Structure 1
Amino acid sequence: MPKVLISDKMDPRAAQIFRDRGVEVDEITGKTPEELIAIIGQYDGLAIRSSTKVTKAILDAATNLKVIGRAGIGVDNVDIPYASAKGVVVMNTPFGNSITTAEHAIALMFALARQLPEADASTQAGKWEKNRFMGVEVTGKTLGLIGAGNIGSIVASRALGLKMKVAAFDPFLTPERAIEIGVEKVTLDDLLAKADFITLHTPLTDQTRNILSRENLAKTKPGVRIINCARGGLIDEAALKEGLESGHIAGAALDVFAVEPAKENPLFGTPNFISTPHLGASTDEAQVNVALQVAEQLSDYLLEGGVTNALNMPSLSAEEAPKLKPYMALAEKLGSLLGQLEGDKVQGIAIEVEGHAAELNQKPITAAVLAGLMRAYSDTVNMVNAPYLAKERGLDVREVRHDREGAYQTLVRVTVQTPSGERSIAGTLFGPEQPRLVELFGIKVEADLAGNMLYIVNQDAPGFIGRIGTALGTAEVNIGTFHLGRRNQGGEAVLLLSVDGTVTEPLLWDICKLDGVKTVKLLRFG
């Protein structure tokens, strides 16, 4: 019988689920790290919330541990890379508190619209400042969603019920999905210009960090009100304070901050600013939901091998894993390449396999492509939840299997639909497990996809390679590998360079200015 430890306070119904499923469970909460180290070795599963910190020391002591389940979304308290190295699956419950978080965003929107915290404080102080607190209606106003995934779409449905207009910016929101949830799909600049209220529902990644930067806050409609119940770091807090003080921003409500716990913050005390201490998931219902979900997920894994919402492994059987591993590595690199080059334009995607790849289970290959594609915009995507996230965003995904023989013994081709047409890349395996790009947007090229790389589209002309080498050499950036392909002599060419040094924004601009250069982009591969 598997044995699970619940080390943080959790709804008692979670423990009952384990028992009903035939899993032995102990509820031992409030232990110090040293005390946890002393007992963790006897457990197959660990169910936690945010208090338990699963460190290297604890993982080293957890000699029998097979799975960790986090009741909630954030897993900052788990050393996931080390857990992976130890062969421990890490799961979370990303959708158990979606409604609660969405409702908190709506609550903060109303609080801003009617100045409720200030009015409450004034009234309880014995004042009767009826004329001071002049609010605004939300009916007929435009709500701008930055992120239209699970939580964002729930916020949209509530806002539509309030007779608001909803505009959404989300790189993976398709026109069909936008129609389905009743929102207008817009660019970020359009959203900033037209929204009366802006609410954020996106993870914190390199692409979304400071998405409401000083520059973007300046583009907002005068009198805008901003709500963030997603992640700290999405807003430039200093610029937000300046906008509130100048009156350009009529109000802001933050449930999350760049540094937490936020016991001190420059925004505190700023007029028309509301703050709550990361309460997005803090309702009785949400706490129950995530506890029950984590118990079900851990039981499924320990008893049946089922994997749900895992952050560090795909849905694979033990027999399939060795054969599929190199193909998934290839697929994820192809998806990552397209995600970095075309991510915000992708409306549909087709994954084709032929040769040896056509003889395998295609689902993990597809999931790996999707995980690579969307990793540029989500810090929690993996090969388990990527297909769900693609479906949620209305991304049309097609799988094609060919039994024909081609130029390669095995081939994976990924084609994306964009507003300007189809864009296709293909890769193969050299040897038993060496992923290699062999075609890029119709141009034959052989390239490893690893580390930091420069993607350059240029006009094929004498001396161009020398100019690139000189520009990088002057900036003391070493070239690791060099891959070149072209459509025809004197036509469009593609250059993929792996580089050892740091490629700065000024260096990218210098390369852009070289004769014949059409496109330059810095790519990163894990």
Structure 2
Amino acid sequence: MTKPKVLISDKMDPNAARIFEERGCEVDVITDHTPEQLAEIIGQYDGLAIRSSTTVTKEILDAATNLKVIGRAGIGVDNVDIPYASGKGVVVMNTPFGNSITTAEHAIAMIMALARQIPAANTRTQAGEWPKKDFMGIEVTGKTLGLIGAGNIGSIVASRAQGLKMKVIAYDPFLTEERAIELGIEKVDLDTLLGRADFVSLHTPLTDQTRNILSRERLENAKPGIRIVNCARGGLIDEAALKDCLESGQVAAAALDVFESEPATDNPLFGAPNFICTPHLGASTTEAQVNVALQVAEQISDYLVNGGVTNALNMPSLSAEEAPKLKPYMGLAEALGSLVGQLAHGNLEKVSIEREGAAAELNGKPITGAVLAGFMRRYSDTVNMVNAPYLAKERGLEVSEVRQSREGAFNTLIRVTVQTAEGPRSVAGTLFGNDAPRLVEIFGIGIEAELSGHMLYVVNDDKPGFIGRIGTLLGSHDINIGTFNLGRREAGGEAVLLLSLDQKIPDDVIAQATEIEGVKLVKALEF
């Protein structure tokens, strides 16, 4: 078996290359390249490990004909065109937890630096002054810290701040009351936070909803003398407004590690009173740099070797431990999606994926992704689990998931239903022996079949002699039948025939099959 090949295109801890090799990947380390040089070589690789120096553009992705996964050693993925990568079927991962402690500690350091005006006091002391009376600080003990974002990093900041005897409140739409109680913090709305907090620390990603979340209006209406720290993402604060508020004293002090435009060699905040900044150092510790490098190597290797998906930004997570158990289910789901996609007619607007019995207890997102990967092949021959949901969304396909814990005739069952002009059409399948996918129902007719290779689907009247006639036709064209599967609604009613063939059936043979007495529909299938 050929080993997956990975390129490390940015400088990172050398142990990352060792992990790739130990986990069954071939790895090259090629850094300091131009975009043109990267485009020339990227077609050789299945995986790409980057930091912030490499920019993965449309041009790079177009040249990456074998690429399956991009792993960013760190949190920010501004240097990857994620929508275009998704359309190309490339998984994009980051390592959001490798530098969490480091970033949280930097935020705490910024809070302390603001409270005691340490940078300015250091500069003047080293200049030969002794300006003791000019630097009257404040204690953080008993002060209120307002967190905008209480996820992984924000929760660590909360813990550290509580150790400093600060009261912590938080604004986070995704923070549940139960989680807030667990963290020992108070959940509030944004206006309340800005009206009560002595210090504000931002820990939220930059999205359309969070851009300029600290706008001019919010800064001007905040508690007078508030102190602001941002070690998250540039663009969360209106920088021009922050400068004005610092000059007026509405904001007592501010500390930024990130800027809207980086590298920030020129910024309106430079020189503002009571303003300190660092050059995006949140993740810059020895421990964090090692951690994110090792994590990205582990994640990429797990995906390429075992199918595990961790910290992906454009695909449901699937742990390396889950992958072997889910693999047969995903094979079944993809085959069912492909079957209904090939058989259903017209423009389909809705698809429902139902899981029963043992299947209902599993991680449903990868199963849904596999169904869509099979189904969307009716529209594209380059579809996979990564880009299928995006293609479905582009076509306006409504996708619903149903989980039924009850167990019916089968211990485990997946059913895929589409809405057609003639009404709902569904197919269902199960696993035999926990690892052998089988079709067990097609459009309401019970039938047992393995979905693979070249197949022929026939709908016909249940009349004597039909099987002989279809077999004779195929035999006359030297088309060998592998398996023969039958189902019917009732004796003498509508019947279904599903054949596996040793070769693809020619169009002229299909045309001849439609002329056989009693035939209603003939369709070639490919799996």
| TM superposition score category, shorter chain reference | 0.5 to 0.7
Measure the CA separation in 2 of the matches of 1:193 and 1:262. 30
- 8 Å CA contact 1:59–1:83 kept in 2: the answer is yes
Q: CA deviation at 1:47?
A: 0.8
Amino acid across the alignment from 1:5 = L
SS of the equivalent of 1:83 reads helix
- 8 Å CA contact 2:355–2:402 kept in 1: the answer is no
Q: CA deviation at 1:202?
A: 0.7
SS of the equivalent of 1:230 reads coil
Which of structures 1 and 2 has the bigger CA Rg?
A: 2
Of 111, 114, 117, 1:115 maps to 117
Measure the CA separation in 2 of the matches of 1:288 and 1:215. 41
Alignment correspondent of 2:127: 125
Measure the CA separation in 2 of the matches of 1:326 and 1:167. 52
Q: CA deviation at 1:401?
A: 2.1
Of 24, 34, 37, 1:22 maps to 24
- 8 Å CA contact 1:314–1:364 kept in 2: the answer is no
Q: Following superposition of structure 1 onto structure 2, how do residues 339-354 of structure 1 map, counting pairs within 5 Å? A: none
Q: CA deviation at 1:402?
A: 6.2
Q: Does 1:401 align with 2:404?
A: yes
- 8 Å CA contact 2:352–2:402 kept in 1: the answer is no
Amino acid across the alignment from 2:198 = D
- 8 Å CA contact 2:171–2:187 kept in 1: the answer is yes
Measure the CA separation in 1 of the matches of 2:418 and 2:122. 66
Alignment correspondent of 1:490: none
Deviations 1:315-360 (A, max 9, x none): 4755234657999xxxxxxxxxxxxxxxxxxxxxxxxxx9962446
Measure the CA separation in 1 of the matches of 2:107 and 2:306. 38
Measure the CA separation in 2 of the matches of 1:4 and 1:355. 37
Alignment correspondent of 1:278: 280
Alignment correspondent of 1:377: none
What is the count of residue pairs matched by the alignment?
Answer: 363
Measure the CA separation in 1 of the matches of 2:368 and 2:247. 47
Alignment correspondent of 1:364: 364
Deviations 1:126-145 (A, max 9, x none): 11110000000001111011
Amino acid across the alignment from 2:12 = M
SS of the equivalent of 2:133 reads coil
When residues 30 and 225 of structure 1 are mapped into structure 2, their CA distance, relative to the original with a 3 A threshold, is same
When residues 194 and 32 of structure 1 are mapped into structure 2, their CA distance, relative to the original with a 3 A threshold, is same
When residues 256 and 399 of structure 1 are mapped into structure 2, their CA distance, relative to the original with a 3 A threshold, is farther
Amino acid across the alignment from 2:420 = G
Measure the CA separation in 2 of the matches of 1:200 and 1:326. 48
- 8 Å CA contact 1:45–1:65 kept in 2: the answer is yes
Measure the CA separation in 2 of the matches of 1:27 and 1:324. 40
Amino acid across the alignment from 2:121 = A
Deviations 1:21-45 (A, max 9, x none): 1211111111112222222222211
Q: CA deviation at 1:429?
A: 5.1
SS of the equivalent of 2:229 reads strand
Amino acid across the alignment from 2:419 = F
Q: CA deviation at 1:236?
A: 1.4
Measure the CA separation in 2 of the matches of 1:321 and 1:140. 57
Measure the CA separation in 1 of the matches of 2:80 and 2:252. 39
Of 38, 43, 46, 2:45 maps to 43
Q: Following superposition of structure 1 onto structure 2, how do residues 6-17 of structure 1 map, counting pairs within 5 Å? A: 6-17=8-19
Measure the CA separation in 2 of the matches of 1:269 and 1:297. 43
Say what the alpha-carbon RMSD is for the aligned residues: 3.2
Alignment correspondent of 2:56: 54
Alignment correspondent of 1:149: 151
SS of the equivalent of 1:131 reads helix
SS of the equivalent of 1:266 reads coil
Unaligned runs of 5+ in 2: 319-326, 341-350, 370-384, 387-400, 409-414, 425-527
Alignment correspondent of 2:216: 214
Measure the CA separation in 2 of the matches of 1:129 and 1:325. 75
- 8 Å CA contact 1:366–1:399 kept in 2: the answer is no
Q: Following superposition of structure 1 onto structure 2, how do residues 161-180 of structure 1 map, counting pairs within 5 Å? A: 161-180=163-182
Q: CA deviation at 1:431?
A: 2.9
Alignment correspondent of 1:74: 76
Q: CA deviation at 1:280?
A: 0.9
Q: CA deviation at 1:404?
A: 11
Amino acid across the alignment from 1:364 = G
When residues 8 and 356 of structure 1 are mapped into structure 2, their CA distance, relative to the original with a 3 A threshold, is closer
Deviations 1:4-24 (A, max 9, x none): 111110101101111111211
Measure the CA separation in 2 of the matches of 1:128 and 1:322. 77
Measure the CA separation in 1 of the matches of 2:158 and 2:300. 32
Measure the CA separation in 1 of the matches of 2:101 and 2:149. 15
Amino acid across the alignment from 1:167 = I
Measure the CA separation in 2 of the matches of 1:169 and 1:217. 16
Of 139, 147, 158, 2:160 maps to 158
Measure the CA separation in 1 of the matches of 2:335 and 2:160. 46
Identity, in percent, stands at 71
Deviations 1:138-176 (A, max 9, x none): 011110111111100000000000011111111121121
- 8 Å CA contact 1:123–1:129 kept in 2: the answer is yes
When residues 49 and 242 of structure 1 are mapped into structure 2, their CA distance, relative to the original with a 3 A threshold, is same
When residues 93 and 324 of structure 1 are mapped into structure 2, their CA distance, relative to the original with a 3 A threshold, is farther
SS of the equivalent of 2:111 reads helix
Amino acid across the alignment from 1:27 = V
